Amino acid sequence: MDEPMDSGMTSQVVRSQQEGVKLLNQLMEVAQPERVFAAPISEGGYTLINTSEVMTGMGFGFGMGQGETRPGEGQVTEAGETAEEEKGVGGGGGGGGYAMARPVAVISVGPAGVEVIPVADRTKLGIAMLTTLGTMLFMLGRMRRGA
């Protein structure tokens, strides 16, 4: 009775693991250059190609275990008798992922020739600037107090 339950759990974990590996292999396709360079767009004599930085990551894990009571270790019934030997299996899994894409530059092909126009991420730069400014003020305050 217990054996099929155990093998069923094992096969389920193996199946989940295989699905995870399949998903991971799909994730590795992000390494292809097509994911970074968009298809060219032509408008008003100009052709533009957007280029982006792409980052993805994932991790997953599965586990299972089983246990059984030794003869005499089982729960004691109301009648004072030790219950029959008990067996059990349990398993679980979890995973997580991350994906990020940010435009880096635009390749422009026009009458003036081929140009690479950089794209600045103002939000990212603003956060970095605020962090630096905050640290500067904090350090300045500490130095004044220390003097």
Question: Which residues of the shown chain bind other proteins in the complex (CB under 8 A)?
Answer: 17, 20-21, 24, 27-28, 30-37, 40, 42, 47, 49, 51-61, 102, 104-105, 107, 109, 113-114, 116, 118-121, 124-125, 128-129, 131-132, 135-136, 139, 142-143, 146-147
Q: Nearest distance from residue 90's CB to other proteins, in Å?
A: 19
Q: Which helix (H) or strand (E) is 142 found in, with range?
A: helix 122-146
- In this structure, what token pair is assigned to residue 29? 């396709």
Contacts of 42 (CB under 8 A, 6+ apart): 48
The nearer residue to other proteins, 69 or 108, going by C-beta atoms, is: 108
Question: Which residues make Cβ contacts (< 8 Å) with residue 65, sequence separation at least 6?
Answer: 89, 90, 91
Shortest Cβ distance from residue 50 to other proteins (Å)?
10
